[in-house]
A and B are shown apart, each in its own frame.
Chain A
């Protein structure tokens, strides 16, 4: 990718996939690809972001994303600070705005925000005075997850253009699904979503995807099978009857995988529920690239931090 495109990231925010062009997504993936090698070295560190401060401001529990951003920042020599905040401003007696303004007063270069309420990173970006990266906001968006997913697909020798992707599970509550749909659509992918009707937005068709409620059909043509985590609390909300019935209908197991293309790959943003949305044989089997996603997550977040925090100057 040409340097002007790289330089164009400096000082920007990454709030949702719609902030990016297809060229920029490709550029991020190329940059991340170069960082994969850094994580495989004996000394896993570059001086690129020395003197820069990255704050992980997490209002909801997260292991994978927080650790991934933390390792990414540290491998680029940034100072990374983790803050776990109470999610409800009402409970903690300080509003989200005040928390952001307080952290921003300490002059970080990037703020990674994870929050259960949609739109919070967008709001933070208007008041923080530094780059804001959306680390997942409610059911709205999780752009770095979509980027690392696309990177993983490319690392497995597939082209994003016109690719057939099936996203299976709780689409209604999934920021991962929304960001991936937005990202894949930029590459004219053929996207199918599959899951119980009660776990689809009623207007799911407006997202420009094909809908099926039959997992075998969803799997059949797919080059990428992307599973979503099911949360047991959805049962209490009357959205499906039991985990047993859910897995009988929508678990990706060896039986279903028999219908898949031999070159298909299976993805999952984690954490996985073994035996519920995905069987152990599939999660640990030859089609699965789930752990590659985690590894690529670090490289992709290194690329995002590098480009947004002004690393491109050096």
Chain B
């Protein structure tokens, strides 16, 4: 099947070149061969994409695939398939596995599992510090050699600023970006939801926005001082958006991502004490949601990332302060992101860019483009298709979606990785 494939008659949107128009896309030997009107099929497998959007496959900078250690929540195989279902052709998996991905052996284990997976490509992110403990640097050189694409203690913040500075400088030798989970643990201590009007009323312990913003500010200064790159994960507070915007304006090498739940949902969703709306950082206020949307629109935010964090239903049915943080997102990211296009926040091209070439640029990953010779990683989706989210239909083992029961518009139909169809439930 790696021979030839022709996707005909779709609206091809390739933000890396700025191309947006009806065209055919020819894939050959695992690479993009050409994008042009009326390419003859010449015996190629043909996918009729009339009325559909043909885009570079999506790239998720931030997912938790749980393997090794918590295979009951997700495996690299199930996560890779869930990603493919959502239109993702590459997914970066965080290091907070059991054991932690803080050395080359674990990285190689993940990549071996990934090579057997049949969905999206899986790129491991290595820990910045040993055991995510924030005390000593992890074996970054060895992990780079084994194949990590970035470094992060995600789930935890590197609270020691000196160690974080060392991590940035050391990682820069290997061309690796360090991803920070901005959370001052003292400010956030025991917090469950955003500290604000809802936490005041419901008596649920709050996480104040400064828990994120003080670390974001610190990291910007360290990035400015060292000249090294830093990427801020899942930003949630309006002040963080402003901080990144200002830092970029002065030339600091900072990038950031936002999740679909943080640009659509607010703390009010916690009024039912439903842990499917509990994640870290927490859902915040309307004005934070608005600020993140502005940040997506004006280019301050570089990527839409899912922070896909599968848990089993019984875990999410624990008491609100006991239930684990996190929500799944791979299979709803497109539909939720399309709401930004429908309400005029973003053009279709800008939205696709936030899922393709822009995240690719953050870590320097292949893909995210339909340029000739690029990997034949493609998503074909129906931008008009309305559907109601039913987590039981997810390919992910995690059904903990904050969008369960929500009607979304926009659904991925075909995912192609390396020229092979890995997802095509409607047999296009």
A residues whose Cβ falls under 8 Å from a Cβ of B: 88-90, 95-97, 115, 117-120, 122-123, 138-141, 173-175, 178, 201-204, 206-207
Contacts and interface: CB of A to CB of B under 8 A. Distances in A.
Interface string B312-323: 001001111110
B203 A117 contact: no
A139 to B, nearest CB: 3
A181 to B, nearest CB: 9
A119 to B, nearest CB: 3
B321 A117 contact: yes
B273 interface: yes
Contacts of B97: none
B197 interface: yes
A224 to B, nearest CB: 21
Contacts of B104: none
Nearest to B200: A201
Contacts of A115: 319
B203 A89 contact: no
Contact of A178 (B203, B314, B319, B321): B203
Interface string B296-317: 0000000000000000001001
Given A89-B322, A97-B314, A120-B319, A138 B197 contact: no
B239 interface: no
Query: Which of A88, A89, A175 gathers the greatest number of chain B CB atoms within 10 Å?
Result: A89
B201 A118 contact: no
Contact of A118 (B195, B196, B203, B318): B203
Nearest to B320: A119
User: Helix, strand, loop or mixed for chain B's interface?
Assistant: loop
B203 A138 contact: yes
Given A202-B208, A203-B199, 9 more contacts: A117-B321, A118-B203, A118-B204, A139-B203, A201-B200, A202-B195, A203-B195, A206-B197, A207-B200
Contact of B319 (A89, A173, A204, A207): A89
Given A118-B320, A119-B319, A95 B273 contact: no
A278 to B, nearest CB: 23
Given A118-B273, A122-B272, A123-B273, A203 B318 contact: no
A234 to B, nearest CB: 13
B185 to A, nearest CB: 14
Given A97-B314, A122-B272, A123-B273, A204 B320 contact: no
B197 A118 contact: no
B201 A178 contact: yes
